[in-house]
Structure 1
Amino acid sequence: MSDHPSTFGGGTTGKTGDNIAWNDRAALHRADDGDGIFDGAKALSRGTFADMIRHVMTLPEADRDTYVIEKAGDREYRAAEIAALAARPDFPAEDTQ
């Protein structure tokens, strides 16, 4: 599943811009790990996007800026954005897989 619209058969996925693909794959990284060609090997944890958000939200608030979530498609989410996503009414409270 991904956040971008489908062009299969000339149609769309029916999603709106506010829909989040909570089950996309994601990885937790240190914010200062430097990215680079070995970035994938530097992941501290992997799971769904929702799992990684839940994990970051269990950390003390003062430590959250230390980490970023890298979501499928090479998008990074930092602490403030992670907290905003966790507060959304459509955020899955627990693993639904």
Structure 2
Amino acid sequence: MTDHPSTYRADPENVGKIDWDDRASLHLKDDGDGVLDSMKRLRSGTFAELISQVMAMPAEDREKYVIEKAGDREFSAGEIEGLSKRDDFPA
């Protein structure tokens, strides 16, 4: 997994590209976030691994989960599905 800043010398890095190897965690959609949020994660891994895990679930179950990516960005089930269909998504 990568663990580097998204900018270098104030120039954005990899504009428009997704870092599939970035750290991420799987959470229940309504787990309350908060100070103890990291303790509520169900799984952790790379962003691509967690997208694959969510997409392996039955469609009706996917809505219950979000993926939190480095930088406190949450991805909903619809966004996860869209990412899984990108041409650059690792197989």
Q: CA RMSD for the aligned pairs?
A: 1.7
Match of 1:60 among 49, 58, 61: 58
The percent identity for this pair of structures is: 51
Residue in 2 that maps onto 1:5: 7
Q: Which residue, 74, 77, 80 being the options, matches 1:79?
A: 77
User: What is aligned with 1:25?
Assistant: 23
- Equivalent residues in 2 for 1:28-47, closer than 5 Å: 28-47=26-45
How many corresponding residue pairs? 89
Q: Contact between 2:26 and 2:42, CA under 8 Å: does it hold in 1? A: yes
Task: Name stretches of at least 5 consecutive residues in structure 2 with no aligned partner.
Answer: none
* Contact 2:20-2:46 at 8 Å conserved across structures: yes
Change (3 A) 1:35 1:11: closer
Shift of 1:73: 0.5
Structure 1: 4+ residue segments shifted above 4 A: none
Report the CA distance shift for 1:11/1:33 in structure 2 as closer, same or farther (over 3 A): closer
Alpha carbons 2:6, 2:12 under 8 Å: kept: no
Q: By percentage of residues, which structure has more helix?
A: 1
- Change in Cα spacing, 1:78 to 1:12, as seen in structure 2 (3 Å) is closer
User: 1:29/1:11 Cα in 2 relative to 1: closer, same or farther (>3 Å)?
Assistant: closer
Q: TM-score, normalised by structure 1?
A: 0.84
